[in-house]
Structure 1
């Protein structure tokens, strides 16, 4: 920004200097030439007054002494030099002055002024005053040099003033930029300092107010996450203990129901953990999701969802095309994403549903496909709060699944609209034992 301010100031000064200096230089030249002609005219008039009308009969003529670099000469009507200095024969200016007019001319490198000498209303001679053009030209060049010096001085002052103003303007903006970078790096306590420029101070105050509001919003969200963690974990833990106590009772009729309820409680507990982990609350310990084999994950998914689809008269197939058995993925998050996709297929899809795993070397692709067609705009599928219109839809599931995929370093996207196919890409690593075995071979 500093260079931009200096360039703008210098451009304005240069334009002003050009617009002023060129006319001023021409005015200096015109004025100096006009002054020299006036000087010659005054000298010629002073000499003409002193010319005796009887000079033609031999009376000596006493012309005044010319100025430095000037020549004075008296010519008779026959254009012959009778006194003073000048060309032996009168030139065009002398001929013109014989017509009883003051003649001005520039010839042969000289400025010439010719003044007629009259007696009894007749022109009896001409006084010719001249000076070298080079004398005036030197004065013009000196004037132009002075003008150039003044322009350079003005340009130098403009550069100094522009640099100072650039520093004054850029310093608070650079400070605001550093403050914004600090906020980007996570320091929400940073605040922009006031400066001497009212407009920038207004921006800084607005920025500080926005940052204060954002900090308060984030604080409320962190508090909500911590409160939700406490309020959800406590009853879930109590329910888990109650179900385990019920399983300790020797009641064959209630055991299957209690086991299913206990499994659902564990899944709910894992779901809460993943949502809180994704929220990233600083008050919660960071947990790395344990890895699970793909085959185990598919079996658990089929066991959980097969009965639900069967109740609706629909088929669920879970299988692996070419994924090796020793490949592991983060079990909890992937299971949650597959659960969201299967619930979405059950609510908004039709026909059978197929979960397929494909090997992509450094990643696995989980494809969830149903026989229904897409009934909403693809660009709005993952928008939080948007729902396809199915019963009970909240518009949160797909957005949550996408965020979970990003937190794993993967990606969730719509691969096809007819039939509807969602693809989850998950980075993987092989089992340590299998890898060491491969190395040994």
Structure 2
């Protein structure tokens, strides 16, 4: 953040310096050369005033003493040097001045100004003043060096100001980032402090409000979990104790019923425990430990679901294909998922229900199929609250969440005839 702010500021300063310094450098060069030519012109005019028209007859001419580095010479209309210093023959500037104009040129590394000397509306001579161009170039370079130093100073000041402003702008955002990391780490009490930047303060206030809402939401969810745990476990425990006490009675006819009821309550207890585990572990990828052999799980599932399906005149087939005898899966969550799928096949499907387990090497595939069909879009089938028939639309969503908590996946493998596939990964010990 800070580096980006500094880069943006420096880019703007550099663009401004280039747009200002380049024209200014050209202006310095043009001004220094123009000043030097003006000085040469004044010198030449001062000399031209002293030239007498009789110099062509041999009268002496007294030219003013030139400044250091300058040369002054008087030329006649035949381009001959009559007095002073300069080329023996008049150059292009002298020839141009003979046409009654002031000539300013550069020749042979010199700045030259030629001024015509007139008498009776005729040009009777030319005064030529010259100075080395190197002197002006030196002054131009010195001016450019001063300009470069000013630009460097301005750039240094811009860097210091940009870094200070970058710190002022980045500090509130860095503080907000630290609070976000603290919240990610579990500190829901962290709050962003106000700063001197209104826009950042608005973001901080929104962040704090959002965090407050999430904290309240999580608190309500935790309260619900605790209440459900207390309110469901207590009556289930009491029911188990009552049924176990009933097993001690002598009525032989009651024993099978009580035994079945006891098994049902135990299954219900496991269901409650699994739902609570999923609620507590939401967002934490900690798959439960594989604790139940696959073949035993198949037998228990077949024993439980054979009766309900047979009551509806339907058949259940359970097959394990090439599954090792020592293969284990997390029993409770897998049993819950299979229970949801089999109950869904019983209620919404038709025909024979087949539960097949396949070994995929690093995972086991549980296929639950029947002879019915699914008309609901597969992408919405697992949405919570969405049901294609009379139902709450919770079972498949719960089964999907349980599969994700195992590190696996639940999907609709085929719509007609219906087939669901549960993938359960196998750990190294399996």
Q: Deviations over 1:77-130 (max 9, x none)?
A: 333222221122222322332333222222222222122223344433221111
- Map of 1:133 onto structure 2: 133
- Map of 2:336 onto structure 1: 336
- Map of 1:406 onto structure 2: 404
The number of equivalent residue pairs is: 427
1:426 to 403, 424, 427: 424
SS of structure 2 residue aligned to 1:113 = strand
Equivalent-residue separation in structure 2 for 1:164 and 1:415 (angstroms): 60
Equivalent-residue separation in structure 2 for 1:96 and 1:328 (angstroms): 110
Distance 1:394 1:304, change over 3 A: same
Q: Deviations over 1:158-199 (max 9, x none)?
A: 223223322322232222222222222222122222233221
Q: Is the 8 A contact 1:225 1:281 kept in 2?
A: no
- Map of 2:379 onto structure 1: 379
Distance 1:428 1:144, change over 3 A: closer
Q: Deviations over 1:214-255 (max 9, x none)?
A: 011001110111011111111112222222233333223333
SS of structure 2 residue aligned to 1:380 = coil
Equivalent-residue separation in structure 1 for 2:19 and 2:159 (angstroms): 19
Equivalent-residue separation in structure 1 for 2:29 and 2:211 (angstroms): 64
Q: Is the 8 A contact 1:277 1:287 kept in 2?
A: no
- Map of 1:49 onto structure 2: 49
Q: Is the 8 A contact 1:327 1:430 kept in 2?
A: no
Distance 1:94 1:363, change over 3 A: closer
- Map of 2:106 onto structure 1: 106
Question: Is 1:63 the equivalent of 2:63?
Answer: yes
Question: Is 1:37 the equivalent of 2:40?
Answer: no
Structure 1: 5+ residue stretches without partners? 436-441
- Map of 2:393 onto structure 1: 395
Equivalent-residue separation in structure 1 for 2:290 and 2:51 (angstroms): 125
**Root mean square deviation, CA, Å:** 2.4
Q: Where do residues 237-386 of structure 1 align in structure 2 (5 Å cutoff)?
A: 237-280=237-280, 291-386=291-386
- Map of 2:162 onto structure 1: 162
SS of structure 1 residue aligned to 2:379 = helix
- Map of 1:214 onto structure 2: 214
Q: Structure 1 residue 23: deviation in Å?
A: 1.8
SS of structure 2 residue aligned to 1:424 = strand
Q: Structure 1 residue 343: deviation in Å?
A: 0.9
SS of structure 1 residue aligned to 2:207 = helix
- Map of 1:203 onto structure 2: 203
Equivalent-residue separation in structure 1 for 2:144 and 2:426 (angstroms): 80
Question: Is 1:234 the equivalent of 2:201?
Answer: no
TM-score for the superposition, normalised by structure 2: 0.92
Structure 2: 5+ residue stretches without partners? none
Equivalent-residue separation in structure 2 for 1:209 and 1:363 (angstroms): 44
- Map of 1:415 onto structure 2: 413
TM-score for the superposition, normalised by structure 1: 0.90
